Structure 1
């Protein structure tokens, strides 16, 4: 216990938040892993499944509302409310039948779960000096990948024990327990009773004066007029469909194209998310490496994004792989590359926007990212039975190169 007391409080806070990200992405990933079983049992078509996944993205499109809510009421109360909401909605998945019922619940789940990334960016902005934000952002995004890692074995266990419905019950129940822990243990640095003076000074000394919180509430219209917002939002529009493919469509692809059964899906479908975990750490490591060589923070993040975009081109060859395990390897490369670039651009919200507007800005960038997933999912659902998955993998392999160009063109380095 003495060793634990020496861990800086800010790292214990971010570790607690990792739990929320694990639960968040576990809850949203169960549907994709269980899709082969649910679609067969419920008689749901690929097009209808496209609307189910699209409904989730429609809900997440309201991420700016979640961000504004968190900026207005704070993380302790606001995020507790959001986690309770998504946990209850997750529990309700165990009671529904038919694609329309799933679509309705997925829309509500997307609305509640859309709070996670804005909350994470607000947490990083408030609790960490600038040089630690990349690592802190990478650590909490590991939770997203681990949530997806845990989904395949959870679904397999649930199906063998009872049914796929049990997986939703477990994820919802764990979320309710976590919400209680968050409410009891979280507060802002200014109010946290366990934060020592030395650590408080360390946090304050490493934060930019230009990003200090202001008294007024964030202005949506002012944020929309800033090219920095578009500079991080448009690359996310192009990048996030990869995560949608891995989370919602990869199990179906493995089952229908590669001939995997549920046991094989449970054995292999988590590997791209494990690779994504490594990407969450690789992106910040690249940024830290460049900063040690006197590269500006914003430029370092842009170079990390660009490196991830170059690696993402391997995704274009998934459909051409003759060996299913070769396809898995390329999907792993895609997960690694995506999180390398994703954590870099997501963290830029805390580098560019003031403390009282960072969650709103992150939510607006998240809106763009989830709009990309929505459009991609609907196109995939409507066309996959006619053209197959190959063209979509090629598209995913190339979009991030355009995102890198946009990031270098629109984002301005703060003076």
Structure 2
């Protein structure tokens, strides 16, 4: 079978990577939209008069909406398909993003962040559903790593582009201008995306590669069956443990660099770019490593878990970063941790398609995303309380350092062999 798959890969076309590029671009836009609040925090606090606790509350409500949306939108995308589902989610979050430029109070800002969270919750369930439709299992981790790297590109672009717009035209125009650019992607998605069998650009050899895994029956799986599976909880608990750490980096890293090293809005760019370039490399490397191990004959269980262990160990040194006096030494430690997160995440995000029938992938991703967003709600309040009470990031980075080992432990205990589940689907 391995030889047959290698032959298919060698003879197949490559249009599936065009689809992956669309996912990459959408994820980059997704992260520009969500990260802008962290980069613009000094301007927003000065204009709207936020306290640290109020900022944490705004992040909390974004996460709450993300949790609610993630749970429902996974099921919605399984039912209507990613072409329609992704377009609706993307359009909704783009409108919510642009609405940030129209608000004048903390309450109004929290309301538009809530709407943004609802819309943005569609990105990963839709993207992972697309990967399950367009890539065979042995390529999925690498494909997820590539499109997930869009998050880091978005995080790189934000501190380079957004401060320049905000300092020249004001922070309100920064939200409106970046939203206008997003419309181009939406038009491209609706025009280009079809399922592999329906797409004129997919040849017979590439279609054979895409469909080289065992064929899953059509239908859907009720939530009660998904919640009854240990594998669902393995994915959800790992997301609950690790997603909040990424949210913490995204929303509070500029603040940490400003308070610890005296950076301002103009000075965030180079350190944040360096950190997220390392994250990008980690995302692709994590997907490549497990895919490479599988190509060499290792099981999905061994390949995924060994890669995730390496990633978890890479995050551990973050516990010391509060005590590093040199800016670029801290950047290196933070970049190593964010690279570890993204590499870990690239493998974690493949587990629903590894373990569940395609009919359930987006639903399981939605359940895990909700768990991760609930963790994000909790860490937002934790960070707000810690900073208000102590002003120190040391306890926050201590939590970050151990989260990935605990997440991997949960996966291994609940799914020791990562064996695909066999549960009958309900006919459509």
What range describes the TM-score normalised by the shorter chain of this pair?
over 0.9
Query: By how many angstroms is 1:83 displaced?
Result: 0.7
- Alignment partner, residue 398 of structure 2: 394
Alpha-carbon RMSD: 1.4
- Alignment partner, residue 168 of structure 1: 175
- Alignment partner, residue 413 of structure 1: 418
1:351-370 equivalences in 2 (<5 Å): 351-370=354-373
Among 312, 334, 338, which residue is 2:337 paired with?
Answer: 334
Q: Distance in 2 between matches of 1:41 and 1:326?
A: 33
Q: Distance in 2 between matches of 1:139 and 1:292?
A: 18
Is the contact between residue 237 and residue 369 of structure 1 (CA under 8 Å) also seen in structure 2? yes
Q: Distance in 2 between matches of 1:7 and 1:265?
A: 42
Q: Distance in 2 between matches of 1:97 and 1:255?
A: 25
Secondary structure at the counterpart of residue 118 of structure 1: helix
Among 266, 288, 291, which residue is 1:288 paired with?
Answer: 291
Is the contact between residue 85 and residue 126 of structure 2 (CA under 8 Å) also seen in structure 1? no
- Alignment partner, residue 349 of structure 2: 346
1:233-256 deviations in Å (ceiling 9; x for gaps): 111111112211221001111122
1:57-96 equivalences in 2 (<5 Å): 57-62=63-68, 63-96=70-103
- Alignment partner, residue 258 of structure 2: 255
Query: By how many angstroms is 1:390 displaced?
Result: 0.8
Is the contact between residue 283 and residue 344 of structure 1 (CA under 8 Å) also seen in structure 2? yes
Change (3 A) 1:289 1:7: closer
Among 170, 188, 193, which residue is 2:195 paired with?
Answer: 188
- Alignment partner, residue 3 of structure 1: none
Among 27, 31, 43, which residue is 1:25 paired with?
Answer: 31
Q: Distance in 2 between matches of 1:250 and 1:275?
A: 15
Q: Which runs of 4+ in 1 moved over 4 A?
A: none
Is the contact between residue 298 and residue 348 of structure 1 (CA under 8 Å) also seen in structure 2? no
Change (3 A) 1:79 1:213: farther
- Alignment partner, residue 5 of structure 2: none
Q: Distance in 2 between matches of 1:400 and 1:17?
A: 25
Q: Distance in 1 between matches of 2:166 and 2:110?
A: 22
1:11-47 deviations in Å (ceiling 9; x for gaps): 1111112111111111001111101111122110000
Is the contact between residue 30 and residue 155 of structure 1 (CA under 8 Å) also seen in structure 2? yes
1:238-295 deviations in Å (ceiling 9; x for gaps): 1112211221001111122321111111222232211111111111222133224432
Change (3 A) 1:178 1:227: same
Is the contact between residue 130 and residue 208 of structure 1 (CA under 8 Å) also seen in structure 2? no
1:237-316 equivalences in 2 (<5 Å): 237-316=240-319
Q: Distance in 2 between matches of 1:413 and 1:401?
A: 17
Query: By how many angstroms is 1:398 displaced?
Result: 1.0
Pair 1:101 & 2:108 matched = yes
Secondary structure at the counterpart of residue 325 of structure 2: coil
Alignment gaps of 5+ in structure 2: 1-11, 421-428
Secondary structure at the counterpart of residue 263 of structure 1: coil
Query: By how many angstroms is 1:7 displaced?
Result: 5.6
- Alignment partner, residue 58 of structure 2: 52
Calculate the TM-score normalised by the size of structure 1.
0.95
Change (3 A) 1:258 1:385: farther
1:296-333 deviations in Å (ceiling 9; x for gaps): 11221111111111111011111111222222211111
1:354-409 deviations in Å (ceiling 9; x for gaps): 11110111111111111111100111112212221111101100111111111111
Calculate the TM-score normalised by the size of structure 2.
0.92
Q: Distance in 1 between matches of 2:412 and 2:197?
A: 35
